Structure 1
Amino acid sequence: MSFDTPADDTSASHEDRPSKSQRKREMQALQDLGEKIIALSEAERARLPLSDDMRFAVEETGRIRSHEGRRRHMQYVGKLMRREDTEAIQAAFEAFEQEKLRRDHAFHRLEKWRERLIDEGDEALEAFIAEFPDVDRQTLRQLIRNAKSERKRGKPPANARKLFRLIRDTAGL
């Protein structure tokens, strides 16, 4: 009599299935992804490839006030996430992150322009005008002059902010 055959079949099927802990981690990851979706603005959520059921559940979350009710609802969101295309959703989140990085980089570039214009004077001004010929030169010169004056007197940087806005608008961001 051989007892090895049935035991081997059972152990093989157990190895194929994820452990209970692994399933819990996966469910928690889906629930966390649901939380990230809920935290997005409506405009960003509209860009995600979500089913109608998922969109409704996300909208419903805002109406739930009870802590326990919200916890249960988040479990429901995690359950709905199992049917969603999580790879496409993750790709959309990565696209959001890339857009944010590009925007941040552009703003840093504009801040450098502002600092150059205030610190370096006419040389930086000519370089800026060469790169952005449509700029209102008179307003630009006045804001630079006022920002330098503010800085020397230790005043709040109101004109430096106005200068940044002018640079930003001129650059089209």
Structure 2
Amino acid sequence: MIKQPEEDWLDDTPENVTDDDDEIIWVSKSEIKRDAEELKRLGAELVALGKNALDKIPLDEELRDAVELAQRIKKEGRRRQLQLIGKMLRSRDVDPLRQALDKLKNRHNQQVSLFHKLEALRDRLIEQGDDAMPEVLTLWPNADRQQLRALIRNAKKEQAGNKPPKSARQIFQYLRELAEAQ
């Protein structure tokens, strides 16, 4: 009788399974490309920011220089610079960058929301007059009631005469100043 060699690698019992297979993580080529595209989009967002907003993002000097260069370049050179920025981002921790961008976007969204609320309040003041005044005084007790009444009166006259809404803009500006002073 011929004795066959024992082949442990065919046996899948728990004691013969090694942990080496658990350490290898296979990443598909498509996933790598998706990640690279995501980083290029992040780089494009950075390039789209203005100087003041860019100052609030934690960038190292090399990356900041690359972003500022991309802001100055046009057409094909810009596309290549965006690819370079995406490549640079691959070797960096991008979580702080994403958090800072999200914070900037959130502040912008809050400001837009505040402006919409102030516009709605201004419209109610013009439509309802003194009936809407308690809402303003509740929000801002130090608001100048006489000034608001004069602006509301002027805004109603402008609406009736189909004139430009100068007083309505002044009401909005006054409400915005009150909100910012708070």
TM-score by length of structure 2 reads 0.79
Cα deviation, residue 59, structure 1: 0.9
Tell me what 1:26 maps to: 35
User: What code does the residue aligned with 1:143 have?
Assistant: L
- Matched residue, 1:109: 117
- Which of 60, 79, 85 is residue 77 of structure 1 equivalent to? 85
Counterpart of 1:9 in structure 2 is none
- When structure 1 is superposed on structure 2, of 109-118 and 35-44 the one drifting more is 109-118
Which of 62, 70, 89 aligns to 2:71? It is 62
Deviating 4+ runs (over 4 angstroms):
none
Give the match for residue 59 of structure 2. Answer: 50
| Cα displacement (A) at 1:154 | 2.4
Q: How does 1:22-171 map to 2 (within 5 A)?
A: 22-65=31-74, 67-171=75-179
Amino acid of the structure 1 residue aligned with 2:78: R
Distance in 2 of aligned mates of 1:94 and 1:147: 38
Alignment-mate amino acid for residue 164 of structure 1: F
Instruction: State, as a whole percentage, how many aligned pairs show the same letter.
Output: 37
**How many residues are matched?**
164
CA contact (8 A) 2:158 2:164 kept: yes
**Structure 1 regions of 5+ residues with no counterpart?**
6-11
Indicate conservation of the 8 Å contact 2:48/2:71, yes or no: no
CA distance in 2, matches of 1:72, 1:126: 58
Determine helix, strand or coil for the equivalent of 1:58. Answer: helix
Q: Does structure 2 conserve the Cα–Cα contact (< 8 Å) formed by 1:51 and 1:84?
A: no
**Structure 1 vs Structure 2 CA RMSD:** 2.4
Q: 1:24-64 deviations in whole A, cap 9, x for unaligned?
A: 22111111110000101111111112221110100111332
Q: Is the radius of gyration larger for structure 1 or structure 2?
A: 2
- Equivalent position amino acid for 1:95 in 2: K
Listed one character per residue, the Cα deviations across residues 72-101 of structure 1 (whole Å, up to 9, x for unaligned) are 211111111112221221112221222122
| SS of match in other structure, 1:149 | helix
